[in-house]
Structure formats: C-alpha cells, structure tokens
C-alpha cells in the first residue's frame, strides 16, 4: 500500500509499433534491414537452385546449408568481441558494403559460366560470417536506441519486415529464377546491400561508446573479453537451459530446413517456384506471428512461450512427413512460421533485456554460437538419413524428436519455465 503523499507509480506503456517507428534512428535501422533482406531471400532461392542444378544432389544442398551455419559456430564468439569494441552503427554500414561487393563478384562469375560448388561454398561461408556479424551488431545496437518496454515491439517489427521480405522474396525468387536464371537475383541482392549502407550512414544517433570490459583500464584482450561473455552466460541458468534446448532442436531444425528444396522437387514434384512458395508460406506464418506476439506483453511468461512454441514446431514438422500435396504442404509451412515466432520472439527480447549493453555483443555471440554448436552437422546427418530412407521419414523422425525435447525441457527446466524480465 502506498503511503500518504507518495507519488503513484506510472505503469509502463504497452507495446506500440507506431511509437517505435517514430524513433528516427530505429526507423533507419529497420528500413535498412527491410531493403537488404528484400534481396537476401531472392538470392537464397537462386543459390540453392544453382547448387541443385549444378550437382543434382540432396546431400550437396544440405552441405550448402551446413556451410551457411558454420561461421556462427566458428567465428561467432570472436565477432561478438569486436561488436562490443567498435561503433556498432559503423560496423553495420561497413559490413553491408562488403556483402554487396561479394555478391556482385559472385554474379559476375555466374554470368561468365565459371561457377563451381567449392566456389559457391566459399562465398556462402564469407556471407554467413558477415550475416552473423550484422545479426549480433543489430541485436546489440537496437536496445541502445529504445526503452526496455519497446524492445518486444521493435523485435516484432524487425521480424515483420523479415517475414514480409521472405514472402515476397521466396515467391518472386522462385519465379525469377525460373524465368531469368540465377544471376539477376544476385545482382539485385548486391544493390540492396549498398542502399542499406546508405541509410545507415544517415543515422545521427551515435552508438554508445565502447567500454573497457568490466570497466578495466587494461589493454583489450580477445580471449579475456570472450571469457567475460561466456562467464555471464554460465552465471545465468536460464541461458544455459536455452542453449541446451537450442543445440538439440537446431540440430534437427536446420536439417529439416535443408530438405525443403528437395522436398519441393522430389516429393511435391514442383520446381523452383514451388520451393519459393513453401518458403513464402513459412514467412507468412512468421508475419502473422510477429504481428500478434510483437504486440503482447510477454515479460511474465517468456519461458512458456518458448516451450509451447517448440512443441508446436515439432508437431508441424511431423505433419510434413505425411503430406505429399502442395496445398497441404503450404498450410504446414504457414503453421511452422507462426510457431517459430511464438518460440523465438519473446526469447530474443528476454536476452536483450537481461544482458548489459557493454556486454551485449560478446554475450549474444557466445550464446548463439553455443546454441548452434552442433547445427552444422544437422543438415548433413538429416540429409544422409533422407538419402538412405526418404525425405518423409526424415521429417517424421525430426518432428517427433523436437516435440520430445521441448516436452522434457518443460518438465525439467524450472528456471526457464518461470523466467521473466
């Protein structure tokens, strides 16, 4: 009970997309992502279809997905140190320019007819490293622009733009690849990176000044700073529990994702357009999920969203194992997108709220690197399983395992089940 004359507490404002977009610095970050991602998903269709036509191998497509994930595991913790050391806005700007040049060079190689699987895998590794750097820098930079009550809405908006681009990019990407080949989508993707860099250059709000780790005046040490990020993760049991779940679920989840193109071709008997529409259906689901979850106050039930969404993801993947018609497959993919957003969006906001700004780059990098530590093996293992059995059996087994992992986690991980911020 408040004492006489006490100042009444003003409740924190509810999540608001419009309020977040009125922040000019965040608006430019969001718009830059919106534009750059509009090319990323078209590029993704072009790249996967290029490998499928180049090798006619389910395993090689799975290998491509594995190489995409590898930079997060190998380089992630190192990248996080530099995200905390350097100006995060400038880091985003420079990385977008570099990605634009890499994609433009790949398009020239393809136009010249000199593409090969080793070359494509090398480019994918470089872009994967750059993409991870952009992801961590964005996760660390955005909370410095907004109040904590606006973080869930900002993450919802970033997810909404990604989902919208995925819908358009994968749908149009499949059609563009079918009509124009793979080089035109690559050229477009390169241009979007340069436009995004220009928008980031117009942000006037500086990044917070990089702080010496722990307030120390000692010269910076890469290993010491990495250990500080790891130590923060180890001190927070809920983060350890999310990492354990993430390692297991991402192993099978990335394996399942690597089978979508072969599934479209060999089970649904479609072409690149069908694969694009499957991805667009997932994105439509994430769009719906982001629009709903982003406007909810998830602060008191974050763990429950993670577990419920995770079980639902497993059930949807299991359903894909018995679906052989395109309309039903599209419906399953829609459900997959919704459940992914229900599990992931509140968790991202939780991490941003719990991690101090000066440690955010290191902690986020260590966290996500550990969460995907065994993921690169997933596409290879699940791809090999599908090759020796069937794609449908691989979906069935993966869906069952994901659901069981999340169910066991709910029963045994009480800290994560009750976590809030």
Domain with residue 113: its CATH number is: 1.20.1250.20
Which one, of 235, 262, 302, lies nearest residue 394 by Cα?
Answer: 262
- The pLDDT-based confidence of 158 (bands split at 50, 70, 90) is confident
Which one, of 62, 43, 118, 54, lies nearest residue 262 by Cα?
Answer: 62
pLDDT at residue 7, as a whole number: 42
Residue 5 lies inside a defined structural domain of this protein: no
Mean pLDDT, the chain, integer = 84
44-75 burial, b for 16+ CB within 10 Å, e for fewer?
bbbbbbbbbeeeeebbbbbbbbbbbbbbbbeb
Say what percent of the chain tops pLDDT 90: 32
- Whether the full predicted model's pTM is greater than 0.85, yes or no, is no
Residue 341 lies inside a defined structural domain of this protein: yes
Q: Which residue has the higher pLDDT, 210 or 148?
A: 148
Residue 106 lies inside a defined structural domain of this protein: yes
> In this predicted model, what pLDDT tens digit does every residue of 328-373 receive, in sequence order?
999 999 999 999 999 988 888 888 888 888 888 888 888 888 888 8
- The pLDDT-based confidence of 168 (bands split at 50, 70, 90) is confident
pLDDT at residue 284, as a whole number: 87
Range of the domain at 277: 17-206+224-418
Cα separation of 231 and 279, whole Å? 38
Residue 189 lies inside a defined structural domain of this protein: yes
Q: How many domains does the chain have?
A: 1
pLDDT at residue 213, as a whole number: 47
Answer whether residue 206 shows pLDDT above 80: no
pLDDT at residue 209, as a whole number: 47
- For residue 98, give every residue at least 6 positions away whose Cβ sits within 8 Å of its Cβ, in sequence order, or none: 130
Answer whether residue 10 shows pLDDT above 60: no
Residue 24 lies inside a defined structural domain of this protein: yes
Residue 169 lies inside a defined structural domain of this protein: yes
Cα separation of 390 and 393, whole Å? 5
Residue 46 lies inside a defined structural domain of this protein: yes
Residue 51 lies inside a defined structural domain of this protein: yes
Tokens read off for 69: 């994930």
């Amino acid at each position: 009970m408040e004492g006489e004359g006490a100042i009444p507490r003003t409740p924190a404002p509810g999540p608001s997309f419009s309020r977040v977009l009125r922040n000019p610095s965040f608006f430019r970050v969001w718009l830059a992502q919106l534009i750059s991602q509009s090319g990323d998903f078209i590029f993704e269709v072009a790249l996967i279809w290029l490998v499928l036509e180049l090798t006619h191998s389910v395993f090689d497509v799975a290998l491509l997905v594995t190489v995409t994930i590898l930079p997060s595991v190998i380089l992630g913790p190192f990248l996080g140190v530099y995200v905390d050391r350097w100006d995060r806005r400038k880091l985003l700007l420079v990385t977008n320019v570099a990605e634009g040049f890499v994609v433009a060079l790949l398009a020239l190689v393809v136009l010249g007819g000199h593409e090969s699987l080793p070359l494509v895998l090398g480019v994918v590794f470089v872009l994967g490293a750059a993409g991870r750097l952009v992801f961590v820098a964005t996760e660390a930079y955005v909370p410095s622009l907004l109040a904590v009550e606006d973080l869930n809405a900002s993450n919802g908006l970033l997810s909404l733009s990604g989902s919208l681009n995925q819908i358009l990019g994968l749908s149009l990407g499949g059609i563009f690849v079918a009509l124009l080949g793979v080089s035109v989508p690559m050229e477009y993707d390169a241009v979007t990176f340069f436009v995004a860099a220009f928008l980031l250059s117009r942000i006037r709000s500086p990044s917070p000044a990089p702080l010496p780790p722990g307030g120390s005046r000692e010269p910076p040490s890469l290993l010491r700073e990495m250990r500080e990020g790891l130590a923060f993760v180890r001190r927070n049991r809920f983060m350890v529990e999310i990492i354990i779940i993430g390692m297991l679920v991402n192993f099978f989840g990335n394996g399942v994702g690597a089978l979508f193109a072969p599934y479209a071709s060999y089970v649904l008997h479609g072409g690149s357009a069908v694969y694009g529409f499957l991805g667009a259906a997932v994105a439509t689901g994430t769009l719906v999920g982001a629009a709903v979850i982003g406007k909810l106050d998830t602060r008191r039930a974050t763990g429950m969203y993670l577990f419920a969404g995770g079980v639902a993801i497993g059930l949807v993947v299991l359903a894909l194992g018995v679906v052989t018609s395109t309309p039903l497959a599209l419906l399953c993919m829609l459900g997959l997108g919704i459940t992914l957003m229900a599990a992931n969006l509140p968790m991202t906001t939780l991490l941003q709220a719990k991690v101090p700004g000066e440690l955010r780059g290191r902690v986020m990098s260590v966290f996500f690197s550990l969460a995907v530590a065994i993921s690169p093996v997933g596409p290879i293992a699940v791809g090999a399983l599908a090759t020796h059995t069937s794609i449908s059996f691989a979906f069935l087994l993966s869906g069952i395992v994901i659901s069981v992992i999340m169910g066991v986690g709910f029963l045994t991980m009480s800290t994560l089940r009750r976590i809030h911020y």
